[in-house]
Amino acid sequence: MKKPHIIIATFLLGSLLSCSNDEKADGYGNFEATEITISSEANGKLEFLNLEEGQILEKGALVGLVDTLQLHLSKLQLLASKETVASKSGGVWSQVSVLNQQLQTAKTEQQRVQNMFSENAATQRQVDQANSQVDVLKKQIQNVETQNAPIVNEVKSIDAKAAQIEEQISKSKITNPLRGTVLTQFAEPGEIVSFGKPLYKIANLEEMTLRVYVSETQLPNIKIGQEVTVKIDSGEEMKNYKGTISWISASAEFTPKIIQTKEERVNLVYAVKISVINDGSLKIGMPAEMWISE
């Protein structure tokens, strides 16, 4: 028969082991990242697409190009048309230049006559003739410029069309929008692509987001900006990371019943996002645990 103190010691040891095995994390979830799909903004043959899955691309890097030959030829045609149209206004503007010179002379004469009239050295008739000459020249200039208005408007229209083509050429260049890792490549060089066709998917994996779910009773223990411990499976042990709570859902994930007991209320869960710096081991979809205190 075992002695009483041995039985008590055995019971306490079993209780301690049972408590340690029952220790659970404060939240469970999976890692995620903001994935962006880069699509074509032009139609045509994909001349090149310099990227591979798993490759890290810098923000602003030129990674591809859709054929721009037809756009370039259209732009050259518009520029030639602009020169032809502009040449039509050459004679008109030369007339305006001559009339402007005559107007300056007439204004000088007008001022001289006004000065003489104020000194009683000129008559009112001479003043009226000088004013009339200035008015006539102004109307002639206005008439000539009115004749040139359609030509000016046509040139402006050509400039607008050329700017549109230049914008299309710019959009034919595939520029990477953010620093990140290529997750999936959807197109290959030489393919004919159209507007909106996905080319590749990219995400910034340097900082991952762990989305976990906590119960309503755990909400008072967490807040935005709080540091927590994040654990992932690593062989027989767990690998630890430092994480920071960046977002807490304002509403429960499940619709509560009209009448519920205290035990039912604890089943409501809230989403929480935790930012974790990635050392290269964290992957999208990887399961992890959140520990509020370690």
Give the H or E element holding residue 270: strand 269-277
pLDDT class for 11, splitting at 50, 70, 90?
Answer: very low
Which tens digit of pLDDT belongs to each residue from 254-283?
644 443 445 555 567 889 999 999 999 999
pLDDT class for 1, splitting at 50, 70, 90?
Answer: very low
Dihedral of the alpha carbons of 69, 75, 78, 80, in degrees to the nearest 10: -80
231: phi then psi, degrees, rounded to nearest 5: -125, 140
Give CA angle at 186 (181, 191), nearest 5°.
130
Q: What is the DSSP string of 277-291?
A: E--S---TT-EEEEE
pTM over the 0.75 mark: no
Architecture of domain 25-34+205-291: Beta Barrel (2.40)
- Which is it for the CA torsion 171, 173, 174, 178, positive or negative? negative
Closest-CA residue to 171 (of 62, 44, 42): 42
pLDDT score at 215: 85
- Which is it for the CA torsion 133, 135, 136, 137, positive or negative? positive
Mean pLDDT for the stretch of residues 114-136:
89
pLDDT score at 85: 80
| Mean pLDDT of the chain, nearest integer | 85
- Which is it for the CA torsion 135, 141, 146, 149, positive or negative? negative
Range scoring the smallest mean pLDDT among 112-116, 128-132, 241-245, 254-258: 254-258
Give ranges for CATH 2.40.50.100 in the chain: 37-66+173-203
Question: Is 290 in contact with 273 (CB distance < 8 Å)?
Answer: no
Mean pLDDT for the stretch of residues 208-224:
91
pLDDT score at 266: 54
pLDDT score at 253: 73
pLDDT score at 3: 46
Mean pLDDT for the stretch of residues 213-226:
90
Which tens digit of pLDDT belongs to each residue from 25-70?
888 999 999 999 999 999 999 999 999 999 999 999 999 999 999 9
Question: How many Å separate Cα 28 from the centre of its chain?
Answer: 33
Fold of 37-66+173-203: OB fold (Dihydrolipoamide Acetyltransferase, E2P) (2.40.50)
Q: Which amino acid is at 112?
A: R
Q: What is the DSSP string of the chain?
A: ---HHHHHHHHHHHHHHHHHHH---SEEEEEE--EEEEE-SS-EEEEEE---TT-EE-TT-EEEEE--HHHHHHHHHHHHHHHHHHHHTHHHHHHHHHHHHHHHHHHHHHHHHHHHHHTT-S-HHHHHHHHHHHHHHHHHHHHHHHHHHHHHHHHHHHHHHHHHHHHHHHHTEEE--SSEEEEEE---TT-EE-TT-EEEEEE--SEEEEEEEEEGGGGGG--TT-EEEEEEEETTEEEEEEEEEEEE-SS-SSPPPSS--HHHHTT-EEEEEEEEE--S---TT-EEEEES--
Give ranges for CATH 2.40.30.170 in the chain: 25-34+205-291
pLDDT score at 8: 37
